[in-house]
Amino acid sequence: MKVPSGLFGYFDRFVYKHEQTSNSYLKAIVYFSLIPLIIISLNEHNVYSPGYLTLICIAFGHRDIRPFMQFKQYPFGKLIKISVFLFGVSMIFSFITLKIMNFFGVQDPQGIRNMVLSDEEYLQHLLRLPFVAMGEEFFKFLIFISFFIQLSQFSKHIKIFIAIILASFIFGHLHIFGYDKLSAGLPIMMGAIPGFYYMLYYRNILPLIFEHFFFDFASVTLHTQYQSIFLALFTLFIMVVVIWNVFREVIKPNTNI
């Protein structure tokens, strides 16, 4: 895939054109109706299911989702590499947000700092993670499309920016119902923003799904008795990746000679 040259060339990659229908605004309303549906299910005990969310999003939005679910567009290794970079960027955004909130006196905004999951709870979370990653990324995408359609009066880049901010805000602050703290939404919102730009740049939602899985896996594991083991393995992984990339640069043949 040819990368456009220059700064403005990169901006031109951040474009989106939704699947045309006879009534795009009706589609926007249908996608937007997912928000109250999720709020109602979150308020009702044991009603919300990421598996059902995945199926509902596919049922209503498969025409818009399908062009961004291209498994053969990139080699699997590159998809993982993109996902890992996105994971790092999202972590940085969330970390900076948390530090700013700490500076203003908001400690532990999600109220889970001292939470420790039992092995049974940990297993239940792990079994849900694939559906959480798919369902929530599909949901974010459809909400983005809903805002994108309704913001037709703006230029393409402004429209995309506003739609990303609004969709990220909705996604982040829906987590308030799970954490029961108003401050829980902001770090999640900020961590979601880079994913939209990655999706538009690479024209693929799969890296977002993989990154979401990695992020939630790390978050859940850090609240178990296996926290120290996970941190040690994660640190080892980072060291191996860094050493391998440095070594690869050293042994790379010099073509300028």
Give the pLDDT of residue 93.
94
Binning pLDDT at 50, 70 and 90, where does residue 168 land? Answer: very high
pLDDT of residue 3: 41
Average pLDDT along the chain: 85
Rounded percentage of the chain residues whose pLDDT exceeds 70: 89
Burial of 14 (0-12, 13-18, 19+ CB in 10 A): middle
> Per-residue pLDDT averaged across 146-159, rounded?
88
Tell me the C-alpha distance between 9 and 201, whole Å. Answer: 11
The CA distance from 206 to 80, in Å, is 9
